[in-house]
Amino acid sequence: MNEKLLTMSGKQMAEMIRKGTLTSREAVEAHIERIQKVNPYINAVVKDRFEDARKEADAADRKVKSSKGKNLPPYHGVPCTIKEAYAFAGMPNTSGLMARKNIVAKEDATAVARLRKAGVIPLGVTNVPELCMWVETNNLIYGRTKNPYNTRRIAGGSSGGEGAIIGAGGSPFGLGSDIGGSIRMPSFFNGVFGHKPTGGLVAGTGHYPMAENDAARYCTYGILSRRPEDLMPLIKIIAGPDGKDMSCLPFKLKEPSDFSLKGSTVVYIESNGMFRPSADLRAAQRKCADLFEKKGARIREIRNPKLRYSFLIWSDMLSAASATPFGVMLGNGKMLNLPLEFLKWLFRASDHTIPAITLSFLEAVNKKAKGMVKKFVAMGHSLKEELVSEIGRNGLLLYPSYPTPAPLHNKPLMTPMHFAYTAILNIMEFPVTQVPLGLNEKGLPLGVQVAALHGNDHMTIAAAGELEKAFGGWVPPWNK
């Protein structure tokens, strides 16, 4: 195993490939070898394209020679992985739904096409929970994805396959999506970086399922990576309208170098008031605040009682904004018969996972409580106004990622609202970077969310870079 290659950023590899000190074939082979070694244990890559990737790498190397390393795309010859929920020509696009088991994409999703145009070489597609709507990655087509730091623990969802293979060293970065924490939870649990962009920054065309109406701004499409220096270049590559996703709006992104912690405000929230984070996560978050203060930021610790209702705000605002019920998506266009589906599940005859069936049931109950929905939608809007005022245009928010490090498999079924820590920031439409902060005593990744106001993606990514310098960032599992 070439450990040095397996710890590099994609940006670093691209520079070496252009200079001729590394071949694309070497980079691709090193990551294929790593995937073949770890995937039998973690089940992250559900369909590979290794032979095609090798051919593309050889073609990339010929292009380097013929061009003498000039006028090449920014990520020429660099390997990566793609979340299976994105259409990628010739690859499965089931999103973990049995009714889509035989679906193979005929063309690339917008984000996939833009990455490929930038020169990347995808090695395969990665696992998701059923219809991308649960905190643990498991479905009846591909099975369960496991955490590379401890296979008894979850990899998160819905970009769980991405988080696991990047955390395991099998890919330098990958494409994810996030409607309730689906980039950030896998990044957190697997000890890597992840960026959920500002709502409406990246077109979702070709992603299945695709959010509708206002919910299309709550669902964002972003990047998971082993190094933060890949986040902004890759976000810029995939950002911008495509003429198809009307929720995607143009606006100019700044560079991380445009932001300085000196003179900024950092709003510090230790808990949402409902689920207090574990002591190791609280200590890790406090270290971040202390570092930012040393660098000239003003730390303001606040509490907001509305955060206690984060799960209800998220679920009601998402439900109110969505045109198609989740139960209809599960039924592949026809509303699922929920009592029958529960019964079938009890006898192991259902085509659906219990988290998906339960979520559909809760949505149906919620739809009938129109007064409560209105109440929490209004609360969500007022919470956003308050947080925007507290954080300010030159401010950051430090916020927990989850109440605990990666839980054991199936445990989230007993604590289904714990993901409210990430979900509430989708409704706020804030850009958020998930930052790894080393490992705890059990060898599990620690981390924190860094958020900012609309359009300030560069600020959260800059903060992630500072935290990597101070605390080391991603810790390869072989260094545990």
Catalytic center residues: 83, 158, 182
Q: Within a 10 A sphere around the Cβ of 204, how many other Cβ atoms?
A: 25
Q: Are 267 and 300 in contact (CB under 8 A)?
A: yes
* DSSP state for residue 221 in the 8-state scheme: E
Verify cis geometry, omega within 30 degrees of 0, for the bond prior to 228.
Answer: no
Q: Which residues of 374-391 are buried (b: 16+ CB within 10 A; e: fewer)?
A: eebbebbeebbeebeeeb
Q: Using omega within 30 degrees of 0 as the cis cutoff, is the peptide bond preceding 158 cis?
A: yes
- The Cα 184–Cα 357 span in angstroms is 24
DSSP 257: G
Sign of the Cα torsion 475, 219, 275, 453 reads positive
Q: Concatenated DSSP letters for 143-166?
A: EE-EETTEEEEE--SSSHHHHHHH
State the Cα–Cα distance between residues 419 and 477, nearest whole angstrom: 25
Residue 434 bridge partners (DSSP): 194, 449
Q: Which of 261, 48, 81 is nearest to 169 (CA)?
A: 81
Alpha-carbon distance of 450 to 433, in angstroms, equals: 5
Helix (H) or strand (E) holding 220: strand 220-225
Could you tell me the CA-to-CA distances from 3 to 31, 170, 333, 404, 439 in Å, in that order?
Answer: 10, 11, 47, 29, 19
User: To which residue do tokens 């270049």 refer?
Assistant: 233
**Closest to 476 in 3D by CA, of 129, 24, 28, 38:** 38
List the structure tokens of 364.
Answer: 């149906």
Output the CA torsion sign for 415, 418, 419, 423.
positive
Distance (Å, rounded) from C-alpha 165 to C-alpha 148?
A: 8
